[in-house]
Chain A
Amino acid sequence: MTWWLLTFSRAAAASYLSHLDTARAMQRTFARAGVPIALSQGMRPKPRLSLPLPLPVGASGCEELAVVEVPDDLPDPAAALRELRAAAPPGLRPLAIIVVGDQHPRPRVLEARYACVLEGDAGAVRAAVERYATEVSVVRERVSPKGRRTLDLKEYVVHAAAEPVPGGTRLSFAIRPRDDGAARPQEFIDLIAGWAEVEPVMRRLERRRVTWRDLPPGPSPGAGRSMSS
């Protein structure tokens, strides 16, 4: 069995897709391109395609990753990439295919870097970011259908910075997942917006760079283990 690590960007209209809709759009792109995906076993086989790091609704992603299992008589990846690009919807763009064997460990996220624009006073946002840097612990409660959970943002969110841009302030930061999960971008944005007393409405949220463990080296954009731009 062969696995493809397909990198792709998600932007413009496609930024507003949910995780499931993005996966569905990617599956549909393969079907339109005539590139087969292996199916799972069982009564209702499903295409074996997954997106290991969900992208928030409303966010664009410069270099996202799809893990795809393809049949052994797989098509030529270079030709497949051309077909996939032609078949993709506006906003989703396949970038590269890295071919790996089925024994290769699945890539795991080390760090994801984000940026967004917050409307409001740049000085206030910068002050909030500086305050975050000096805090030892910033505990927040997350309420979800699964229940309540507290998490310390300081354990996950690093490299926070703010800079003025036309129409607001660009807030950039990185999230490092741990074995027990990760903070969500919106949680950090809400924190900073709250401290800065600006509307917590984010615009132009981007995931600019993801650093993976166990990503095979190769001529992917931002060569080496880091899939950076």
Chain B
Amino acid sequence: MNAHAPGSLDSCSEGWIPDEVARLLARVTRPGRYTGGEFNLRLKPGASPRIVLSYPDVYEIGISNPGLQILYAHLNDATPAAAERAYCPWPDMAALMRAHAVPLWTLETMKPVAGCDLWGFTLPHELTFTNVLEMLDLAGVPFHAAERGEGHPIVLGGGPAVANPWPLAPFFDAFFIGEVEHRLDEIVKALAAPSRALRLQALLSVPGMWLPGVSERPAQRQVFMAFSSTAPVLRPVVPVLEAVHDRAIVEVMRGCTSGCRFCQAGMWYRPVRERPVDLAVEAAEQLLSETGCDEVSLLSLSSCDYSGVEEALTRIRALRPGVRVSLPSLRIDSAAESLERFAADQRGSVTLAPEAGTQELRDAINKGVDDAQFEEAVRATFAGGFTGLKLYFMIGLPGETDADVAGIARMAGTAARLAKDVARGRARLSVAVSSYVPKAHTPFQFESFAGASVLRHRQRLLREAMPRHVRISFHDVAASLVEATLARGGPGSDRLVEEAWRRGARFDGWSEHFRFALWEDAATATGIELGTADLRSDQTLPWESAVAAGVTRSFLSEERARGARGELTDDCRDGLCASCGVCGAGVEMDVLP
């Protein structure tokens, strides 16, 4: 029996959370959301400028966002700035903060967010917009940029939802459009200016920056062309609470040129850039040590398309015993082969996304998957011993008919039959159906939102036609209606967001918190009709006046026309350039030889 040098016992009375915060923590669910204390947390006392990074959702969601991890690591490790974090307090905490007049604090220093120099938000989607206002209010920062003065932080927005910044424009001092890694140093330098006005002026000169009411031209979306030669985040913050994802993430590829016509990310993150396999494997090795995870996820919009996937998979598996490699998405046209390769690493269930129920509609959205490929993928799933299969579809796509919806039920029937024949009833089958929302900078940006009555009718059709024993879930039509309104909202749509927040809208992406009546009342009060977008293809679209996304209007229009004709457009990785407009002026595809 041996014991090993304990040294002196640490005092428990050191490092107490400030009393005013501790009083609140004692009365909320999951208080660990608000205290930090994670692995790899950075503290830079006295560093300047002080930047706060936020994701407008609850901690467990926000901590899993890879984008925020990139910013946090780069700012803290490669610039003089100190980056801290704040996520959106859950309603129980928000109520206590207001009751006790305790302003929003950061996880790193427990100091008020409002005292920082720059407050950056990663904006993931429209249903988080009211949470931005909630956080500004809880921090005591004036809602409107015009009301802020010396002593208030500069509020900066970024992330995929700034593809159309108008619904949030008055609440932000500036938006950064695109990928920011290579512009962070310039942003930090701009914050050194001696006054708020001069700092904003300096930010205006950073490429990709759009200042509402100030910028005279749309901001050019920035592309991080050093992606391939730069290591991914090697020392991410690892939560000590259970989060939505618990795995080491290696971003192996950025961009996707499959060209699905509904997909905003596919248009937004062009062109494709791949990291060398050596870099990915070295990163995986370090991440396994830094995170303590036993699973590595090869992250991208379509990891099966990563040129080095096979080699990376083999080498990462060999790094140490028990390491598993997962891919966040599988392509149906190559799923059977992928499932065979990854079977040993995948846990539980597989998700396949045919998106639409008939060949005609799949061709119209440029999702060139045929019935035989689908059947082969499903068969491979069940033959591989997976315990569940989830099929993901959308309804409300442009040109969709009731027959297309019936096709979804037919495909589910095929899968159910294979579950019985191949898996002998041992596998679960579920179908998730969301409502399509047209987004800015996509070929379908001119299309109408299907509308609540059509979507509800098709949900009913589908529920009736769906084989028994297949679990089906639908996205809330009312939430899609709000999302559709904001996704293509123009100047003035911010009034809807603010009015909904004032009436109590929060956490709209959470079904248990989404209250449609608040949005209906807000729409009535502001005179904004939900679900509509007053767009004409012969006019400048609202987001085009703020954002130059790279993909040209002519390309998007041509793609829309091809979709209407049911014509497929090839992936430019296969050699045929579709002239989307992204490449040129130092921006080009960068894939492995």
Contacts and interface: CB of A to CB of B under 8 A. Distances in A.
Interface of A: 7, 9, 11-18, 20-21, 24-25, 27-32, 34, 57-58, 60-63, 77-78, 81, 87, 89-91, 93, 95-101, 167, 201-204, 206, 208, 216, 218-222, 229
B572 interface: no
Nearest to B16: A204
Contacts of A15: 17, 35
Contact of A89 (B3, B5, B11, B37): B37
Nearest to A90: B37
A60 B240 contact: no
B32 A98 contact: no
Contacts of A28: 39, 238, 240, 291-292
Interface stretch (B21-29, B134-142, B507-515): B21-29
B294 interface: yes
A99 B7 contact: no
B1 A216 contact: yes
Given A12-B37, A216-B1, A203 B26 contact: yes
A58 B31 contact: yes
A112 B544 CA distance: 66
A178 B289 CA distance: 42
A28 B289 CA distance: 10
B27 A201 contact: yes
Given A13-B36, A206-B13, A95 B6 contact: yes
A97 to B, nearest CB: 5
Given A89-B37, A89-B39, A208 B12 contact: yes
A31 B241 contact: no
Contacts, number: 150
7 contacts: A7-B6, A25-B240, A32-B290, A60-B13, A90-B36, A96-B6, A221-B9
Contacts of A208: 12
Given A60-B12, A203-B19, 7 more contacts: A13-B32, A16-B34, A28-B39, A96-B3, A96-B6, A218-B3, A221-B8
Contacts of B32: 13, 16-18, 21, 57
Given A21-B32, A89-B240, A100-B1, A206 B26 contact: no
8 smallest CB-CB distances across A and B, nearest first, come from: A13-B37, A12-B15, A31-B292, A218-B3, A96-B6, A13-B35, A28-B292, A32-B292
Given A21-B241, A99-B1, A204 B22 contact: yes
B107 to A, nearest CB: 8
A219 B26 contact: no
Interface centre among A11, A27, A63, A204 (most CB of B within 10 A): A11
Nearest to B36: A13
Interface string B181-222: 000000000000000000000000000000000000000000
Nearest to A22: B240
B38 interface: yes
Contacts of A202: 26
B4 interface: yes
Interface in B34-89: 34-39, 41
B3 A97 contact: yes
B242 interface: yes
A183 B6 CA distance: 31
Contacts of A90: 15, 36-38, 41
B50 to A, nearest CB: 19
Nearest to B27: A201
A202 B24 CA distance: 10
Nearest to A9: B10
Contacts of B290: 32
Contacts of B38: 89-90
B9 A99 contact: no
Contacts of A91: 15, 37
A226 B12 CA distance: 17
Contacts of A32: 39, 289-292
A22 B313 CA distance: 32
Contact of B9 (A78, A100, A167, A229): A229
B123 to A, nearest CB: 27
A78 B6 contact: no
Contacts of B147: none
A21 to B, nearest CB: 5
B37 A219 contact: no
A204 B11 CA distance: 13
Contacts of A204: 13, 16, 22
A95 B10 CA distance: 8
Contact of A21 (B5, B6, B7, B242): B242
Contacts of B3: 96-99, 216, 218-220
Contacts of B31: 16, 57-58
B4 A11 contact: no
A181 B470 CA distance: 45
Contacts of B7: 95
B14 interface: yes
A9 B99 CA distance: 33
Contact of B26 (A21, A24, A58, A101): A58
A153 to B, nearest CB: 20
Interface centre among A9, A60, A221 (most CB of B within 10 A): A60
Contacts of A63: 9
Contacts of B537: none
